[in-house]
Amino acid sequence: MFLALRELIFARGRFSLMGGVIALIAVLMVMLSGLSSGLVNDGVSGLKSMPVTAFAFDQGTKTDNAFSRSVIDDQQLIAWRGVEGVAAAEKMGVGMANATTESGKQVDLTLFGVEPGSFLEPSRSAGTGLGSSDGIVVSSTAKAEGIELGTVVTLDRIGTKLKVVGFTDGQATFGHVDVAYLPLKTWQLITSGQAAAGTPTAAQLSAVDFHTASVVAVQAKSGAKLDLAAGDTAAGTSSKSLSAAFNASPGYEAETMTLSMIQVFLYAICALVVGAFFTVWTIQRKHEISVLRAIGASTGYLLRDGLAQAAILLVGFTALGVAAGLGLGAAMPEAMPFALEAAPIATATGLTIGLGLIGAAVAVVRISRIDPLNALGGQR
């Protein structure tokens, strides 16, 4: 480190330029990581928070948008209840709706129709649970839209009025839209197209001849291994585990794959840029290294020194970049789906440093091929 540190100070101009590039890559890493986590939360936090082991879609449903596409009936539900290892299975209705609040504000909602009192009913941070035919429990993030307890939202076109009776515990969004939990019966009334304007009445609900829902939500007994294939055969469904079902959320796969690809490219760029810099730096020092080798410096010492130099540069400037990225992340506008989570940022930081070191190592290994004989004769 004796030589490494002194060279960092001596050639601080060159090293700062390189460090600047590393820091900017780290900033971009943090931003992408935040955007990635934010988009995932925005896309599937409503699903993530559910105590569900798997969702069963109607057989042959296309994966993209499967939640709103699939239709299941009572027989499929009953078949799933009979599958070994199943603790509970419930019908669940999924649909998108545009609505307007009393103050005229337009909001989008994902309607999750669930049986009140079942395991699907969400835990709440405020208000009461599902029960009354017009009561809905909405995502806590909807407060930012001006929705409060007691707010009445009117669904566009059909004019059905629903009242906010509770908020979920934390963010519950699906396909970038706030989730509104409502009783399955009400969901069926709305979906059947038989709903009239105004608050749904008991008479309307009992008159609805519509018994299907979107998916069967299945909860396994604790410790039991659920045989999804057996359940599918018995019920005529295609089931997906909770995390696999994320892909059935609108746009989820496209978004996460795009961001992952950008991140992979950034890692590759980081390794290549650091490698290129240290290649040029090592070539610049060629004569000096041949002198050191002629004097008797061991190859191991020179390699350790070179790698230590790269490590100091990478760790220092990556830390700087991550700090700047966290600062910028905190200043992101509300509309941008952005969530800073410790684990993905730590992974991104580790990968930036690790891959940068690999790039540097490939360059620094050149030191071992420099011939001490070059020290003799004129300076080149």
Partner 1 sequence: MTNPTFQAASASLAALPATGLSIRHAVMELGDGDTRVTALDDVSLDVASGEFLAIVGPSGSGKSSLLAVAGALASPDSGTVTVNGQDLSQLSQGKRAAFRLSNIGFVFQSGNLIPALTTADQLRLVNRLAGGPKTFDPVALLESVGMAHRAANRPGQLSGGERQRVGIARALVTGAKLLLVDEPTASLDRARSREVVEHLARQSHEHGVATVMVTHDHDVLGYCDRVLEMVDGRLGAPAPVR
Q: With contact defined as beta carbons under 8 Å apart, do 65 and 96 qualify?
A: no
Nearer residue to partner 1 within complex by CB, 155 or 292: 292
Q: Which residues contact 289 (CB under 8 A, 6 or more apart)?
A: 282, 302, 367, 370
Q: Are 55 and 238 in contact (CB under 8 A)?
A: no
Q: What is the smallest separation between the CB atom of 223 and partner 1, expressed in angstroms?
A: 59
Residue number, 104 or 296, with CB nearest to partner 1: 296
Q: How far is the CB of 279 from partner 1 (least distance, A)?
A: 19
- Min CB(8)–partner 1 separation in Å: 9
Contacts of 24 (CB under 8 A, 6+ apart): 321
Q: Backbone phi, then psi, for 86, in 5-degree steps?
A: -85, 125
CA distance 368 to 302: 8
Nearest to 191 by CA among 97, 81, 54: 97
Measured from the CB atom, is 60 or 296 closer to partner 1?
296
Min. distance of Cβ 292 from partner 1 in angstroms?
A: 7
Rounded least distance, CB 362 to partner 1, Å: 23
Give the integer Cα–Cα distance in Å for 95 and 126. 24
Cα 288 to its chain centre, rounded Å, is 49
DSSP sequence for 95-159 = EEEEEEETTS-EEEEEEEEE-TTSTTSPPEEEE--S-STTEEEE-GGGGGGT--TT-EEEETTT-
Q: The tokens of 237 are what?
A: 């469904």
157 vs 380, beta carbon nearer partner 1: 380
Q: How far is the CB of 3 from partner 1 (least distance, A)?
A: 6
Residues that bind partner 1 (CB under 8 A): 2-3, 6-7, 9-11, 287-288, 291-299, 301, 372-373, 375-379
What element of type H or E holds 239? strand 237-241
Contact between 110 and 46 under an 8 Å Cβ cutoff? The reply is yes
8 or 213, CB closer to partner 1?
8
- Of 232 and 305, the one with the shorter C-beta distance to partner 1 is 305
Q: How far is the CB of 303 from partner 1 (least distance, A)?
A: 13
CB 58, CB 71: distance < 8 Å? yes
Minimum distance from residue 366 beta carbon to partner 1 (Å):
17
